[in-house]
Structure 1
Amino acid sequence: MFAYPVDEEISLRLVTERDAEEIFQMIEASRTHLREWLGWLDHSTKVQDTLINIKNNLILFLSNEGLDTAIVYKGKIVGKIGFNKINKANKTAYVGYMLDESFQGKGIMTRAAKAITMIAFEEYGLNKVEIHVAKENTKSRNIPIRLGFKEEGTIRSAEWLYDHYVDHVVYGMLREEWE
């Protein structure tokens, strides 16, 4: 099983089927907050939906096309981070993340994003990591900025969120810039 210690408080580990209930409960606890930026929440309303998502992500992991990890903070799953997609031909990973609202402001996601970037370069041998963030989501945008990612541009009307489109700002980090 994939596991990666980040520091004395945080580790990342592969999400497996046994995590479905805990992850679903984490999502439920922050559903209103997460719904502002995650368009799939209305399609994930029961544990079975979370389980299906986990199984699909495990298939991507086994084919080396994705990585879905739980952010474990002091022994509790408080979020997720991973490669939503790996473009093997271009050696690029596209990172996505979410964090339980009650654990924000502790630097957890910044540390997890730093770790997932290191994993992309050191474990997967990739050349680039991209993070796409809704333009108005300043908390999420601050994460790649803190890590030194370059703002590469804006994709207009990149995502439909329930009743409106949002633009995405694209941040990128090249392996040579990280080292």
Structure 2
Amino acid sequence: MDKALQSMIENMPSKTGKPLEEWVKLLKTKSFTKHSEAVNYLKKEHGVTHGFANTIVHLSKGEDTPTDNLVAGQYQGKEHLLPVFEKVKNFVSALGEDVNVVPKKTTVSFVRKKQFALISPATKSRLDLGLKLPGYPTTTRLENSGPFGTMCTHRVRLEKPEDIDQELKDWLRDAYAHAG
């Protein structure tokens, strides 16, 4: 199991009020037709944050490794970009024990108290890394958020593992700090 997912499961009782098993048991008593309905139920009725709600719903469906399943789906036909994703994920996960890696259908969010980065395969040859860096000017490399809209303030295009250089790591560290 992914280290970040395991950490999220371990922190679930203190962050949500119940261990995973109780949340799964609760969801099994309901009948939702869509994933988002179950997530919204947990958020509205039980005050669970989006990242935990999304993880609980995925795990309640019997998916043993939701992170791997969702990420594999994102990179189908773009497997050559996985080393770039993994390098970003490993760096971000090492920023602190409070980092949650939250896979979704088309993106993976990196969340502390709030989301501070988001990564998505944008094309067959490129990933887009969204960052929340309020007040930072745009540059040739640190672009306007583009397709991420208000979820992020900036976007960086990544094509190869070498693109995760010191400058990018500094931006990720700053985004992480702002989210705490």
**TM-score, normalized by the shorter chain, greater than 0.5:** no
User: Per residue, is there more helix in 1 or in 2?
Assistant: 2
Query: Which has more strand, going by share of residues?
Result: 1
TM-score by length of 1: 0.36
TM-score (norm 2): 0.36
Larger radius of gyration: 2
